[in-house]
Amino acid sequence: MHASLSLTVDGTERTLTLDTRTTLLDALREHLSAIAPKKGCDHGQCGACTVLLDGRRTLSCLTLAVAQEGAEVVTAAGLTLEDRPHPVQEALVAHDGLQCGYCTPGQVCSAVGMLQEAAEGHPSSVTEPGLDPDERVTLTDAEVRERMSGNLCRCGAYVGIVAAIQEVAGTVGDRVGVQ
């Protein structure tokens, strides 16, 4: 069975007809030629396929495309700002937060999403208890590691990834606050 749907991908509205079983990842890569999200495990365990779906980080390999009619999808390729890399992308390069680069697009989208979540006061499992819901989460090393734990890096570039995220958030030693 096939269905038509419209998506806005990296700022461009796209219409396509797909088998209703097609994942968002396969729709992006195979039907729309968006190569930034990667197919790693195809089981939602590695995070290489992470995109921003209506502003929230999402594992595109676990998301059915037809359920996203009218949604806005932003991949790592769509995060550039006036033809410049996103600050997260620049910081990952500056802090050696990538090696082979396969996981990098998913890491970038996840980092951008988690920075927004922290700015909105969403707690994680390691957030200090008693956080005022309107207060920004302090992104310690532990906080960043926990929030990024769904994104695996086979090369082990985690030290650089954490440092890059903290730089973008506004580093103050081991404690940072989203700016």
Q: What are the structural domains, with CATH classification, of the chain?
A: 2-79 (3.10.20.30), 87-176 (1.10.150.120)
Q: Give the chain's count of helices (H) and strands (E).
A: 5, 7
> pLDDT digit string (tens) for 6-38?
999 999 999 999 999 999 999 999 999 999 999
pLDDT recorded at residue 133: 66
CB 49 within 8 A of CB 60: yes
Angle (CA) 70 75 78, round 5°: 95
In which residue ranges of the chain is pLDDT below 70? 131, 133-134, 171-179
Sequential DSSP letters for 47-80: -TTEEEETTEEEEGGGSBGGGGTT-EEE-GGGG-
pLDDT recorded at residue 174: 39
